[in-house]
Amino acid sequence: MNTRSRNKVSMIIPIYNEATVINKLLINLDQFKDYCEIIFVDGGSSDGTDRIIKKKYDLVYSPKKGRANQMNYGAKLSKGNILLFIHGDSILPRDALTEVHRIIDKGYKVGAFKLKFDSNNVLMKICGFMSNLRILLRNIAFGDQGIFIRKDYFEKIGGFLDIPIMEDYQLSMDIKTDGEKIALTKTKITTSERRFLDNGRLRTMARMQKLQYMYRRGEDIEKIANLYR
């Protein structure tokens, strides 16, 4: 674990009704807890997720529900000068903090992890590959890729926009507009494929592309959020 950098990482994890998956992340975080700040931000869970987390980690409650608000609230409370945002169904690689420090110490303001899914399905392998290619070609990262960013720069660009969906997409577009490059790590974060299974992998992928297109066109964000749900 790299602890030589003068930068301190604050890991911010927005959660909402993740009781079925959160224990995997809690076990994963044990290796990092002595080297960074870990902030769980609950958005009003009703399934006992918060009680599970409190057995091992501190947790705060966001005054306003919604992933964007939860992450902004965690960032406001954080003490580190690097913010690492991860989802409750993701698993970090062992060298996660080393990779974050390596990229930030090289002068980048923003980075994200290469993505893979917890599945051997060929469609999910393609989806992970395309997500990584999207960062390289379009400078767009999604939240399940573990976006990390210098706190001062996060504050400069206004943090996450208060919208019910696409907050990570909008953050990437704000970064792109500002002329900054999103660096990609050497190692991969692992994310659950669960959201692809309810309605089928291909159908979910197609729907996500459609929603992104609608967002770029400036269509009503509530309509987009309802279609996602």
* Each residue's pLDDT expressed in tens, for the chain with a length of 229 residues: 544 567 899 999 999 999 999 999 999 999 999 999 999 999 999 999 999 999 999 899 999 989 999 999 999 999 999 999 999 999 999 999 999 999 999 999 999 999 999 999 999 999 999 999 999 999 999 999 999 999 999 999 999 999 999 999 999 999 999 999 999 999 999 999 998 998 899 999 999 999 999 999 999 999 999 988 7
Cα–chain-centroid distance for residue 114?
Answer: 12
The stretches of 78-200 forming alpha helices (DSSP H) are 96-105, 122-138, 151-156, 167-177, 194-197
Phi, psi of 38 (to 5 degrees): -120, 120
Identify whether 200 is part of a domain.
Answer: no
The CA-based angle 191-60-75, given to 5 degrees, is 70
Residue 57 lies in a domain: yes
User: Does any domain span residue 227?
Assistant: no
Q: In CATH, what number is assigned to the domain containing residue 139?
A: 3.90.550.10
With a threshold of 0.75, does the pTM exceed it?
Answer: yes
The answer to whether position 134 is within a domain reads yes
The tally of domains found in the chain comes to 1
Please state the φ and ψ torsions of residue 215, each to the nearest 5 degrees: -65, -40
- The verdict on residue 222 lying in a domain is no
Residue numbers of the domain that contains 82 = 9-194
- What are the CA-CA distances from residue 11 to residues 89, 149, 177, 225 (Å)? 14, 11, 25, 26
Which of these, 136, 121, 207, lies nearest to 172 by C-alpha position? 136
Distance CA 172, CA 159 (A): 11
Q: Hey, is 84 helix, strand or coil?
A: strand
Specify if 120 maps to a domain: yes
